[in-house]
Amino acid sequence: MKDLQYVIYAAILGIVSFFTGEIVTFIMLGIILMALSNMLKVQKEILKKLENQSIQNDQKEE
């Protein structure tokens, strides 16, 4: 699902950049957007792992 989302973002950025002539600007914004999305995804995965470890530690203490 995320891959489809990136393709849609790239298509929209490509269309807008074609009509405005700001190709480099929109490409850089697209790269930044994808990088931020990846960072958010990784942070959510880390949060899930930490929550699971916390739950397991709480169960062991009981």
- Count of domains observed in the chain: 1
Does the structure show a pLDDT above 80 at 3? no
In this model, does residue 8 exceed pLDDT 90? no
- Give pTM, 2 decimals: 0.62
Q: How far apart are CA 43 and CA 59, in angstroms?
A: 24
Radius of gyration for the alpha carbons in the chain, expressed in angstroms and rounded: 19
Closest by Cα among 39, 43, 33, 45 to 5:
33
Question: How far apart are the C-alpha atoms of 55 and 6, rounded to whole Å?
Answer: 34
Its domain, for residue 27, covers: 2-61
